[in-house]
């Protein structure tokens, strides 16, 4: 672990929190102070009102002016604050005048403030270009990590990298390097929302008489992040995302799945044990426990439906072919009502959707862990992959965009010594996953062959039964068992076996066993190829490229799997 990694071992920047980022001018016109405090309080109150269980935290660079103003208002409201310093505090304090420095230190000492220091990416710290680079890292973190951004801004593009207008543009463009253009507000466009900024117009002291264009409103970028519009209210898609994230936070802090064994991504004694990696590992473990818990419940419901269907078939055949007693009809109706009640329960609990969504999140955390460990995550956009696969467009999947932001580290460098990063990733991720998929593929192949053998036996039995009816019909009449002749028993079993085979086939379809074979086979090939490639990588840069490519393939596979499984349980929109 190098010096930068040592600097990152203290406080984790990764946490399951809803973060309200702040960017704004240092030189706000004093006459606007009271009005801005009122608008800030209203904005924070509205946003936090959508969240009952998810911790809400304000994050800012704690610069003089807008940052400190927002931090003070948040603390007055009981909202925790993260002071994201663009460089170590001792270096940062050189940017403050005496009065501002005292205010700065007072805020950092507040019990509701957590301090994160972005380590120096270059030296010497006094070099202007290096300091500018540190402010860019701050802007990058706010862009990646903020679930919503508050901009205390005069609406003018200052062209300063890392400045307020730069952060606004980068957030609206989702960090994709483009300058989004403003378009007219369109109600129909709300469905394709990207990022949201709360814009609080504010004049600057360097131009106190300027006519700031605008009133407090929301700036909403589209899903392609190439344009934005002004909206007087929070669009409904954001409300759905925030409430979904709040629901996940409630699940995460609850007891569901907590008793399941934890399978972490790191091990004691690893060369990489920064606070961010440990925190990300903890988030993966909790998401994995929840996903396994809901998978178990969903699978049990699928199995129950299969058993009830098989029982209904057996009951009806007994009534139709053996005993025409009303009791069997009552039993048939009872099984049907039990199945209907189970279906309604499963639908209300959304067990299958929860399993798929949380599994997608857990696997995203897994990929992010190794991107962070290797330092290959800089410039890699996890949420962009979600958008490309449209996973977040499904009902009860919208919150994934918000949850994935929780996995963004302060910076991507310094989490592991360069000499050991690639080796650890190969051991902990690539080799481990390749072995896992090999084992699962072998087990599924064995299960598949056994099921095919059973189906073949049922088919052969049905054919033999048909021939028996053709050639031995009269002889069967003389076989008397429990008061029924052989023909009756043969017809009964010929109806029962194909029925149970069909029920079992439907159950396997719901469980997507064949798709699992494809997925495990594809993943095995992907990780096997990556293992060979990374062993031959001549250097760190080439190794990181292989890891980024593997991240693409692994995420695409899990998101495709989620899409396929989701479609098995839900009708297309037009069918509703």
Give pLDDT tens digits for 254-293: 999 999 998 899 877 665 578 999 999 999 999 999 999 9
* Highest-pLDDT range among 70-79, 322-331, 521-530: 70-79
Rounded Cα distance between 412 and 141, Å, is 10
Give the span between the Cα atoms of 324 and 316, in whole angstroms. 9
Residue 307 confidence class, pLDDT cut points 50, 70, 90: confident
Task: Evaluate whether residue 12 is within a structural domain.
Answer: no
Map residue 302 onto helix, strand or coil: helix
In sequence order, the 6+-apart residues with CB closer than 8 A to the CB of 506 are: 306, 309
Rounded to whole angstroms, the Cα distance separating 183 from 207 reads 27
Q: What range does the domain containing 462 cover?
A: 275-575
Report the mean per-residue pLDDT for the chain.
85
Give the phi and the psi of residue 161 in degrees, each rounded to 5: -60, 125
Q: Using CA atoms in the order 87, 90, 94, 95, what is the torsion angle rounded to 10 degrees?
A: 40
Phi and psi, residue 47, nearest 5°: -65, -50
User: Alpha-carbon distance 474 to 487, whole Å?
Assistant: 8
Question: Which of the residue ranges 183-187, 501-505, 540-544 would you say has the lowest mean pLDDT?
Answer: 501-505
Model confidence at 435, pLDDT cuts 50, 70, 90, reads: very high
Q: Are residues 205 and 340 in the same domain?
A: no
Q: How many angstroms separate the CA atoms of 236 and 213, rounded?
A: 26
Query: Confidence band (pLDDT; 50, 70, 90) for 301?
Result: confident
**Distance in angstroms (rounded) separating the CA atoms of residues 529 and 544:** 15
Inform me whether the pLDDT recorded for 391 exceeds 60.
yes
Going from the C-alpha of 99 to that of each of 68, 70, 505, the distances in angstroms are 13, 18, 75
Task: Show which of 217, 252, 287 is a domain's final residue.
Answer: 252
pLDDT band at 487 (very low <50, low <70, confident <90, very high): low
Please indicate, yes or no, whether residues 325 and 427 belong to a single structural domain of this protein. Answer: yes
Question: Is-contact 294 351, C-beta < 8 A?
Answer: yes
Measured distance CA(373)–CA(441) in Å, rounded: 28
Question: Do 504 and 389 fall within a single domain?
Answer: yes
pLDDT band, very low/low/confident/very high, at 214 (cuts 50, 70, 90): confident
Whole-angstrom distance, CA of residue 418 vs CA of residue 440: 33
What distance in Å separates the CA atoms of residue 54 and residue 240, rounded to the nearest whole number?
14
pLDDT for 477 beyond 50: yes
Residue 18 lies in a domain: no
Q: 219 with 283, same domain? A: no
CA 37/CA 346 separation, integer angstroms: 47
Residue 476's alpha-carbon distances to 222, 320, 464, 483, 489, in angstroms, are 73, 19, 14, 13, 9
Percentage of the chain surpassing pLDDT 90? 49
How many domains does the chain divide into?
Answer: 2
Tokens of 503: 């029920």
Domain boundary among 186, 220, 252: 252
In a domain, 1, yes or no: no
Residue 258 in any domain: the answer is: no
Token pair of 134 as six digits: 């540190």
Helix ranges, 265-318 (H): 275-317
Tokens of 428: 């902990």
29 within some domain? yes
Q: Which residues contact 358 (CB under 8 A, 6 or more apart)?
A: 248, 251, 287, 290, 291, 294
Q: Are residue 237 and residue 316 in the same domain, yes or no?
A: no
Instruction: Please check whether residue 175 lies inside any domain of the structure.
Output: yes
In a domain, 6, yes or no: no
Angstrom CA distances, 358 to 159, 407, 553, stand at 40, 14, 19
Q: In the listed set 252, 283, 299, which residue is the last one of a domain according to the structure? A: 252
Cis peptide bond upstream of 124, omega within 30: yes
Q: Tell me which residue of 48, 29, 41 sits closest to 216, measured CA to CA.
A: 41
368 lies in the same domain as 407 = yes
Are 225 and 288 found together in one domain?
no
- Cα-only R_g, the chain: 30
CA–CA distance, 47 with 44 (Å, rounded to integer): 5
Q: Assign residue 132 the CATH number of its domain.
A: 3.40.50.450
| Of 16-20, 200-204, 323-327, 465-469, the least confident | 465-469
8 belongs to a structural domain: no
| Per-residue pLDDT band at 575 (split at 50, 70, 90) | very low
Chain segment 133-145, per-residue pLDDT in tens: 999 999 999 999 9
How far, CA to CA in Å, does 398 sit from each of 20, 73, 248? 18, 30, 11
On whether both 351 and 224 belong to a single domain, the answer is no
Whether residue 338 sits in one domain with residue 285: yes
Query: What are 311's two structure tokens?
Result: 């029982």
Q: How many CB atoms lie within 10 A of CB 202?
A: 25
pLDDT at 6: 40
Quote the DSSP letter at residue 262. Answer: P
Domain shared by 204 and 298, yes or no: no
Which residue in 457, 451, 429, 455 sits closest to 523, CA to CA? 429
**Are residues 495 and 321 in contact, defined by beta-carbon separation less than 8 angstroms?**
yes
Same domain, 300 and 183: no
How far out from the chain centre does Cα 123 lie? 36
Residues 180 and 143 in one domain: yes
143, 191 Cβ separation under 8 angstroms: no
Using DSSP's 3-state secondary structure scheme, residue 23 falls into strand
How many other C-beta atoms lie within 10 A of the C-beta of residue 373? 30
Angle (CA) 368 374 377, round 5°:
50
List Cβ neighbours of 410 (8 Å cut-off, separation of 6 or more): 8, 13, 84, 116, 118, 141, 276
Cα–Cα dist 557/552, whole Å: 9
Q: Are 223 and 194 in contact (CB under 8 A)?
A: yes
- Please tell me the pTM assigned to this model: 0.87
Helix (H, G, I), strand (E, B) or coil at 121: coil
Q: Among candidates 115, 116, 120, which has minimal Cα distance to 131? A: 120
């Amino acid at each position: 672990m190098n010096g930068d990694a040592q600097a990152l071992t203290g406080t984790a920047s990764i946490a399951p929190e809803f973060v309200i980022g702040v960017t704004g001018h240092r030189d706000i016109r004093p006459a606007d102070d009271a009005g801005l405090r009122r608008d800030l309080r209203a904005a924070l109150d509205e946003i936090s009102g959508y969240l009952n269980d998810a911790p809400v935290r304000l994050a800012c660079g704690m610069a003089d002016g807008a940052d400190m103003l927002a931090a003070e208002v948040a603390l007055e409201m009981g909202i925790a604050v993260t002071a994201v310093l663009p460089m170590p505090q001792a270096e940062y304090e050189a940017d403050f005048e005496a009065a501002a420095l005292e205010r700065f230190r007072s805020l950092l000492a507040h019990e509701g403030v957590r301090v994160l220091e972005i380590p120096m990416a270059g030296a010497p710290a006094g070099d202007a270009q290096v300091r500018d680079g540190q402010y860019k890292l701050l802007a990058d973190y706010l862009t990646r990590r903020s679930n919503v951004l508050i901009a205390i801004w005069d609406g003018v593009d200052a062209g300063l990298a890392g400045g307020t207008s730069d952060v606004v543009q980068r957030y609206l463009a989702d960090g994709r390097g483009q300058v989004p253009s403003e378009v007219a507000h369109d109600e129909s466009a709300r469905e394709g929302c990207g990022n949201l900024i709360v814009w609080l117009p504010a004049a600057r002291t360097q131009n106190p008489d300027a006519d700031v264009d605008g009133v407090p409103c929301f700036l909403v970028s589209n899903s392609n992040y190439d344009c934005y519009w002004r909206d007087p209210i929070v669009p409904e898609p954001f409300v759905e995302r925030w409430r979904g994230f709040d629901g996940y936070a409630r699940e995460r802090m609850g007891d569901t799945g907590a008793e399941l064994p934890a399978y972490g991504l790191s091990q004691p004694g690893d060369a990489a044990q920064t606070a961010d990696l440990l925190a990300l590992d903890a988030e993966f473990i909790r998401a994995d426990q929840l996903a396994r818990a809901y998978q178990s419940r969903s699978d049990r419901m699928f199995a129950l439906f299969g058993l009830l269907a098989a029982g209904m078939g057996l009951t009806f055949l007994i009534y139709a072919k053996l005993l025409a007693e009303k009791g069997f009809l009552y039993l048939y109706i009872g099984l049907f009502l039990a199945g209907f009640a189970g279906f309604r329960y499963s639908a209300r609990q959304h067990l299958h959707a929860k399993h798929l969504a949380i599994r997608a999140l857990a696997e995203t955390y897994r990929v992010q862990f190794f991107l962070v460990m290797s330092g290959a995550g800089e410039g890699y956009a996890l949420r962009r992959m979600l958008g490309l696969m449209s996973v977040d467009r499904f009902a009860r999947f919208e919150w994934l965009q918000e949850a994935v932001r929780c996995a963004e580290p302060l910076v991507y460098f310094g989490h592991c010594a360069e000499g050991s990063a690639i080796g650890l990733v190969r051991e902990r991720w690539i080799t481990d996953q390749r072995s896992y998929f090999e084992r699962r593929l072998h087990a599924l192949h064995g299960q598949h062959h056994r099921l095919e053998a059973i189906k073949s036996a049922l088919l052969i039995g049905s054919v033999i039964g048909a021939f028996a009816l053709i050639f031995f019909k009269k002889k069967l009449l003389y076989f008397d068992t429990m008061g029924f002749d052989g023909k009756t028993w043969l017809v009964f079993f010929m109806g029962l076996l194909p029925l149970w085979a069909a029920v079992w086939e439907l159950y396997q379809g719901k469980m997507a066993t064949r798709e699992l074979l494809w997925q495990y086979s594809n993943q095995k090939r992907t990780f096997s190829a990556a293992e060979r490639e990374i062993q031959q990588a001549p250097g760190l840069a080439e190794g990181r490229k292989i890891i980024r490519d593997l991240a693409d393939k692994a995420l695409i596979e899990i998101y495709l799997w989620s899409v396929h499984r989701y479609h098995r349980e839900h009708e297309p929109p037009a069918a509703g």
